[in-house]
Structure 1
Amino acid sequence: MTHRLVFDLMTAERAVRRWIDARSGGSGIGAAGAGVLFHLAAHGDALIGDVGAALGASPSGMSGLVSRLEKGGFVTKAPDSGDGRAVRLALTPLGRQAVGTAREVVTELNAELTDGFTAAELDVVARWLGRTTQRLS
């Protein structure tokens, strides 16, 4: 049997994004925005470039995403105190609330994705995904 891993991986990624986006509760955050919020929740104020690097996002993609999150009241932007050209992001109270909602959505998604698989099977999937990311980065 020939596996179409690249096609299957890309199709699965789009399905996951659509699933998350459909459950964003009209917030407009979506999958990419949730990634930004999760990063800020774990790392506090962070440089936009660092958030983009952690998410594997392009500078232009981050710019638009951050603008939408700022307009929605989820994050604030401020110049970095050490480098006036750099910009830091911080969660607002609404952003912190959205992190909780996004965690619930991701917990539900993880349960959906892992249903019917053994721990050993999931370990193989996780190892394959991690190796793929490492080898291609």
Structure 2
Amino acid sequence: MDETANDLWSLEKSRWLDGAKYYERRLGPDAAMVIPYPDGLQDRTAALEGRRPARQWHAIELHDQNLRREGETVMLSYRIVAWRDCCSTPMSALCASTYLDDDGTWLRLSHDRQPVTPRGGTGRATSAPFHSETAPLLGAA
């Protein structure tokens, strides 16, 4: 992996672990987030408000990492397994984040997270149904 790829994957990992601090520094002014809770599309303001009360992830694993670059824009896609102290089972999801190189600063333009459940030991995943009773524990992206 080259230095830019390493930097971007480090940014993406810090997004999961640093929460609101990350968003305040790295979320672009016109960013869009698509996450399962709260449902729907969030702009930068809604994403920042949603991060403040959410519990932070305390451990993550990224799998099937893929990076696509086109000019100053990069898309990261991956599968994540993430743990919070509030939940007995980890969250699994397929994710994609888009970053823009804004004069040497990588800003996140978008993020999409789709919950998945592992498929019997194959390492593959399938879409998981959304359970509203656990959604408040998961918080924003």
Task: Provide TM-score, normalisation by structure 2.
Answer: 0.23
Q: Is the radius of gyration larger for structure 1 or structure 2?
A: 1
Is the strand fraction higher in 1 or 2?
A: 2
Structure with bigger RCO (C-alpha 8 Å, 6+ apart): 2
- TM normalised by structure 1 equals 0.24
Q: Which has the higher helix share?
A: 1
